[in-house]
Structure 1
């Protein structure tokens, strides 16, 4: 029922499109006030919405409606204050017609537990029904998503349950957002550090748009960050930053999300911004903003997407986060990007990070066409990682 995405399909999926077995499928916004969408899957197969991380395994033609909801409006106060449970991903209201047409669903989460140390009992799918909240164990948990087979649909999302007394520090995938606010005398930026939750990004985009903020393109932090930890925002000496500290926490969409204001004067020279772990002093994220970036951000025409440019820009993130390379290596050998000996050199590296780095350097040395093929294979084999790194908005 779930054929892989074909290697040759258009990988630059628009934000309001699912990737499917026969190409991209458009999504219709049917109620803007309720953030409700509708999509019709015409055939059996696997469909992924990269902008959200939602995925559906479909047995037959089916129409699905999807709405984005706020945890804060549905979790009662006791559960919100329960330190044994934490929100671990977006909350969706999903229905499907006909019932039973969907064999499995991938629900996105932002928990980043070490490889081989994921305890599936920590993850729970919360269903909000007339009788209250019902918890269900997912079939399995993967990086970026949990799988639920033969699902019943409702208002649903992922919660993380932590046994009392474990003292577990929860690492999560996170997103850094920067918004530019032009002013002739004192250019201002808003910097956010949030869990990688599409509903949070969407809510911040809408709030910033009300005040004419323009989002600049930037990469997420390379390594997972610890939930509840404090991070320092710093930059060039002439910058004014208020506040200089951000706590990585979860606030439901609709609540005011914390951010740092950065004042950069007339912005005649590039500025550097950094985020560091306050307790360890280690660098977790940095970016360089040039005056030309602000001019490009004001233009309406988006640049043509390049898979080669994506791999180059996200080299460090791919080195840290690429997982099982077996399928990717097979694709690249079949397409004569790698020789058999080069493939074996990658496989012989002792750690996952070294395997990833060896592969990236080999492919980069062969030029942009080879990088395009690598991007295409990653889009097929690990679409959730590509979706996370691209961080699209609506």
Structure 2
């Protein structure tokens, strides 16, 4: 997996660097980030989960909260409805034909037609794990004649691209060979919500695919019962779809259930979670998730009593560049892909010499290249880290959006 590099092919404007810059306004959950600033999204039917957005000029538009992106050549109005796979994909197909849901399901229509040249559909498959064949990816269109499959033009980390698309109810599926017993690696998210009671504080811990619609659905369900989400980081390494994970706590507390299976349940369905009873919560607790099969620690977090006093009812302000790079150092080391453009930016800005650029490029594996890059930039100080931050934000907005969402 460390030897995999991904070519930079996506057209993304420089403005996308504002996504997590810490000095520019962060794109809100109900906004697209566009070439001339943020574009508001209108909720036109809450019961149907339907939205409308008007893109006023040509360019690339990204909805960071969902990972959905459009490249347009002229002004266009797009209507987006979030739907459930369970209503359209036969369970027999999933089990017998080895279909795996790999991302959200969108019903998309546009007016006028013919001005959208690319659509970026989000997926949760971890490509750098080097265990997934790109040919397994299919875009499923649900039409009157049934499910129609279309191979994407390109597949990148976090999204697949359709060029000159036709629009319908669509989403990403992964088709595995019948004889394949592969446990598919996916990017994942751990969510913690606390519920306050003077005598017994309790936590709900979820382990889910990194699907923003799932997170949104869980946020809304927890809010009905006054659950407050705490800030956490996702697991650094890809997790295996269908594998089982053990939840534990230090000091030992009552946890029900102690075992979670990483699976995809449609937004709107009840999501599986572990309930942790912490009593009056006078001391910090350490929550851990361990791979049941390999006994390896895949995620942990520390929760302190003082964190629960303020409720975190609003999202924290965006992190400045240097703090962001420090907080997400391990994730950047694991998830950065092709570095050629980033290294060019560092050389152009005088952060790296030609010799230093070559030193990074000559490292034998992708992870070693990432590690060397981050360490060298850190040693050069805060200004160099800010240059690196802006370069990654511009060249890999999906990765930065993903990391930024985990910090909320």
Coarse TM-score class (shorter-chain normalised): over 0.9
Distance 1:7 1:31 in 2: 29
Shift of 1:328: 1.1
**1:55 counterpart = 2:69:** yes
- Is the contact made by 1:10 and 1:23 (CA closer than 8 Å) also made in structure 2? no
Shift of 1:54: 0.8
Distance 2:17 2:100 in 1: 39
Report the CA distance shift for 1:237/1:214 in structure 2 as closer, same or farther (over 3 A): same
Alignment of 1:1-394 (within 5 A): 2=11, 4-6=13-15, 9=18, 11=20, 12-82=26-96, 84-114=98-128, 118-300=132-314, 302-391=316-405
Q: Residue 96 of structure 2: SS of its match in structure 1?
A: coil
- Is the contact made by 1:238 and 1:264 (CA closer than 8 Å) also made in structure 2? no
Shift of 1:390: 2.1
Report the CA distance shift for 1:86/1:7 in structure 2 as closer, same or farther (over 3 A): closer
Q: Residue 271 of structure 2: SS of its match in structure 1?
A: coil
Shift of 1:162: 0.5
Give CA-to-partner distance per residue, 1:325-360, whole Å, 9 cap, x none.
111111222223333333222222221111111111
Distance 2:19 2:101 in 1: 33
Shift of 1:114: 4.2
Shift of 1:230: 0.3
Structure 1: 5+ residue runs without aligned partners? none
- Is the contact made by 1:329 and 1:343 (CA closer than 8 Å) also made in structure 2? yes
Structure 2: 5+ residue runs without aligned partners? 1-9, 21-25
- Is the contact made by 2:16 and 2:33 (CA closer than 8 Å) also made in structure 1? no
Higher relative contact order (CA 8 A, sep 6+): 2
Shift of 1:265: 1.7
Report the CA distance shift for 1:192/1:116 in structure 2 as closer, same or farther (over 3 A): closer
Shift of 1:77: 3.7
Corresponding pairs, count: 394
Q: Residue 372 of structure 2: SS of its match in structure 1?
A: helix
TM-score, length-normalised on structure 1?
Answer: 0.94
- Is the contact made by 1:44 and 1:58 (CA closer than 8 Å) also made in structure 2? yes
The worse-fitting range, judged by mean Cα deviation, of 247-256 and 79-88 is 79-88
